[in-house]
Amino acid sequence: MLNEEQKEKLLQIARGSISGHFKGSKNDGISVNDPKLNEKMGAFVTLRIGGELRGCIGRMVGDQPLARTVADMAIEAAFSDPRFAPLTREELKAVKIEISVLSPMRKVSSADEIELGRHGVMVRKGFRTGVFLPQVAEETGWSKEEFLSNLCSHKAGLSPIAWKDGSAELHVFSAEVFEEE
């Protein structure tokens, strides 16, 4: 989907947005001339320090230009992930940024259609939703059953078998994942 120059530009936007936030910048001036970076696409920004998760927030649906989504999600991952204290200036030097640019989601009728490592999955039942990016399957080494059970119980607050008993919807998407060197 993206070439190396576009990936590098998005990584620069993410880091610049976080840096700018420390300086009081409001992130309003994000503009790029690349038509691909101006397409409406969903994206997640993941922050790691020493290989450990330090923040991860994203937007599933592309409702604004990709460059703007990345800028906004970088700030959210750094300062608003409820699992972590806000990032400090000192930590910024050690942070490694990863971006996942998402394809549109499609509903699947059964877990048989899910390919671990290729598909990210969103489970939904009523107002409860949970999402795992495609790389979660590889990082955890879970089987498909473990992956879906953890998604339901730990991310969506549902029964671990909600994916199996037909009470929840499953949606899949793919992601182009890249990170800083």
Residue 27 pLDDT exceeds 80: no
Residue 28 pLDDT exceeds 80: no
Residues 42, 100: contact at Cβ < 8 Å?
no
Residue 58 pLDDT exceeds 90: yes
Higher pLDDT, 126 or 27: 126
pTM reported for the whole predicted model: 0.87
Residue 31 pLDDT exceeds 80: no
Q: Which amino acid makes up residue 109?
A: S
